[in-house]
Chain A
Amino acid sequence: MTCARTATAYQRDWLKGLRARITEGAAFAFVNADTPHELFHFMDVPMVTNQWWSAVISAKQLAPHYFDRMEELGFHAHLPRYSSLPLIAQMEGDFDRQPWGGLPAPAILCARASSDEHPRLFQRWAELTGAELHLLSAPGTPDPAPDWWVRARTNWEDLYGTARLDLMVAEMEHLIAALEKLTGRDFDRESFTAYMARIDAQERVLDEVAEMIAGAEKCPVGIAEQMPNVMIPQWHRGSEWAVGHVRSFRDEVAGRIERGEAICANERIRMMWIGAGLWFDTSFYRAFEDSHGAVFAWSMYLPFAADGYIRADHGDPLRALAARVSAMNEQLHQPPWVNEWLVREARRWRIDVAVMLVPEHDRFSGYGSYFAREALLAAGVKVVEIHSDMVDPREWDRAAMEAQVRAALDELEAA
């Protein structure tokens, strides 16, 4: 797909540019995926996302080295891996080994305390680099409405709770003050409104794309190509490039559908991939097309761009941003949010089989998996559980995993 290549090339050039900026003395931020990236982008503070960098390291097949090293350093073998891979690479300090020469020390760090490990990991980053640490609180939602995606776009005040939103806004104001100090620039609230509106427009385009693919007779774009087209613009959301890119993506998808193009002409089975990407072996996503006409049509990244990001600003874009961030990850991993959403998505996308990555070490990402499994089964979706990890291939047995999926597909075709 032309767009996917464009996105990947853009990201590579962007990182080269980032390194050049840093070499020239620009400060950059190292942040978790579920933090308000918008504030960093808007203040023109270059930013690297922990989980994205982890995926890059994994895709370069470097994870086994670092996870072995992690245990040598005295960390136990059951600690979460997705978010810790960049830390271990940084601790080792051999930047020549890392993709693109590794990362220099960031100026500022930001994470949400959405799981037990994130505060601790970022504390270690702070000790290692001397960077200023900003932790955002993550109190639980006492009464999580199951149909969050219906309410979240406009009625988010009731959904997430006024006290939780007040807290997130106050903590973001603290972060804004730090960014003002770092950059020497004021936070222009009027321009921020326009910036947030551009993000909203970007996510609405992705909403259109999701609806198009979900409704297409045959899947025009598999998840391996969806991911870069969604996530790279997502890391740069609201920028001119990002908005332009998702429009190109939409147009290319529309063209494919119009021309009747499908990634698998013989598509018979639609599958969803549940969980983060399998970053070290993305070819797995296409392993069942020839044998079973089975296509991975759905991963969370595209539909979540709409449901997880579109938030009406109601005249207060900072509060709308708090609504976007305050339960971002939780919606993907905690009952009832995750199970109800996956069933809705499975129905919307006409899914036959769900392949569920259950990351036993990244427990925060694994919680709710079985509620989701049971809900999908009850909705008539066949579920294949894969107990593995999104970035660590050491226990990944490709042949065995393929056999597990093929058995389910055989069973489905025989029924």
Chain B
Amino acid sequence: MPVHATLQDAFVQRADGAQQDGAALIGVFGEGVPLPLVAALGGLAVDIKAPPLSDATDGPHADLVARVAEPFLDPFTTRFLHRFAAGAFDRFATLIFARDDVSGLAAYQYASELRRQGLISRSGPRLHLWNLLHTDSAPVVSFNRHELGRLVAHLEETLGTRLDQDRLSGAIEAEKRRGAALEALPPGGSDAFTVRNAGRWMTPAAHAALLAPLPQPSGPAIVLLGTACDIPVLHDICTEFGQVRADLQDYGRRAPHPIDAADLLREIAHDPLSPRAAPPSRFTRALFDGIAGADLVIASLDANDDCLGWDLPLLRDFATARGARFVNLGFRPFRPDAAWREKARAHIAEALA
């Protein structure tokens, strides 16, 4: 069954194609923002980290960004900054940056500084740093509550609305219904990846309504490890080798969402697959759990990775000790070309031979 055209369009056009339908657009950079809160206050949360697919060929280039963006800046950040400078988010009311996202803090700081220096118009969207910390000590719970208060105040001021508990509960239920529909999808495969991520640029209700069953793939169980990857490049490649049973990379999985209006942050703050989960052993354990039972583990990282690389030797040893094959594809370009894909395919074929 082909991917629904609306979902396909949403996935391709991303923030550029987001339909406001009366709601103010609220940009979200990184995982961990309580999206039902945005919806309850009258906003449509839209991912702004992943650029439209066309950005790879005809995305904007701003010299003023090129002058301040070091070559080792995360590519999601760099592309965001070029698009920000070009006014891609001018119709947005505010942009919220998750500090615990690998590239979120730099994106916020660089965008803020470009604006502070007057290099970028001050008339665009507001910018907000979402400082949620991924642990559960009492001081952090208190700090996170403070940050939630700051976010609520920011959204209320931006949107001119007040938080209503009934609307919040309704938004959480809508997110749960979307979650249930997504649960029915296979965990891997290009189509599943596409339709799941399309929801980042739609309301939960519209998204859930368009989700339809997809065939369950079969074959050796493959688990993908790595840094954020917003395109199904590895899912495509893996189709001929088996089933992607888990994609533990950002965009490859559905990060936790609030399930309780009385405690919006618990599920998010406890996400063990947040790279900043603390203590950090939680993250490592979650990765171990994620690859347990795999026939093949495939790792590929952005060249600017500071994080997952410290776990790779442990993960390799863990996987191989359990009889799984482990393939490290090395650094994955932001938009891999045919040569990289072919090389990756060859590595995987060799591992499974």
Task: Tell me the A residues contacting B by CB distance below 8 Å.
Answer: 73-76, 78-80, 113, 115-117, 119-124, 126-127, 133, 135, 137, 139-140, 142, 144, 146, 163-164, 166-167, 170-171, 174, 334-336, 339, 358, 360-361, 363-364, 366-371, 374
Q: Is the CB of B139 within 8 A of A163?
A: no
From A79, A135, A140, A360, contact of B278 by CB (8 A): A135
Q: Is the CB of B313 within 8 A of A73?
A: yes
Q: Is the CB of B128 within 8 A of A142?
A: yes
| B contacts with A: majority SS | mixed
- Residues of chain A within 8 A (CB-CB) of B108 are 140
From B71, B99, B139, B147, contact of A171 by CB (8 A): B139
Given A76-B312, A123-B281, A334-B109, CB of A166 within 8 Å of CB of B306? no
User: Does B255 make an interface contact (CB < 8 A)?
Assistant: no
Task: Tell me the B residues contacting A by CB distance below 8 Å.
Answer: 67-73, 99, 102, 105-106, 108-110, 112-113, 116, 128-129, 131, 133, 135, 137-140, 142-143, 146-147, 150, 275-276, 278-281, 284, 301, 303-307, 309-313, 316, 328, 330-331
Q: Is the CB of B131 within 8 A of A364?
A: no
Shortest beta-carbon contacts, A-B, top 5: A170-B139, A74-B313, A120-B310, A335-B113, A116-B306
Per the bound structure, the CA–CA distance linking A117 and B116 in Å amounts to 29
Per the bound structure, the CA–CA distance linking A45 and B110 in Å amounts to 40
- Residues of chain A within 8 A (CB-CB) of B71 are 360
Q: Is the CB of B143 within 8 A of A123?
A: no
- Residues of chain A within 8 A (CB-CB) of B143 are 137, 139, 163-164, 166-167
Q: Is the CB of B310 within 8 A of A117?
A: yes
Distance of A189 from chain B, by nearest CB (Å):
19
From A135, A358, A371, contact of B68 by CB (8 A): A371
Per the bound structure, the CA–CA distance linking A363 and B328 in Å amounts to 23
Q: Is the CB of B99 within 8 A of A367?
A: no
Q: Is the CB of B113 within 8 A of A80?
A: no
From B142, B278, B303, contact of A119 by CB (8 A): B278
- Residues of chain B within 8 A (CB-CB) of A163 are 143, 146-147
Per the bound structure, the CA–CA distance linking A366 and B147 in Å amounts to 28
6 more A-B residue pairs beyond the given contacts A117-B306, A123-B279, A335-B109, with a C-beta to C-beta distance below 8 A = A75-B313, A122-B280, A140-B108, A142-B131, A335-B113, A367-B106
Per the bound structure, the CA–CA distance linking A77 and B33 in Å amounts to 32
Q: Is the CB of A335 within 8 A of B128?
A: no
Q: Is the CB of B139 within 8 A of A167?
A: yes
Q: Is the CB of A79 within 8 A of B70?
A: no
Distance of B30 from chain A, by nearest CB (Å):
12
A–B pairs, 30, beta carbons within 8 Å: A74-B312, A75-B313, A76-B312, A78-B331, A79-B305, A79-B309, A116-B275, A116-B276, A116-B306, A123-B280, A123-B281, A123-B284, A123-B310, A135-B280, A137-B140, A139-B133, A140-B109, A144-B109, A146-B116, A163-B147, A171-B139, A174-B139, A335-B110, A335-B112, A336-B116, A363-B70, A370-B70, A371-B68, A371-B110, A371-B113
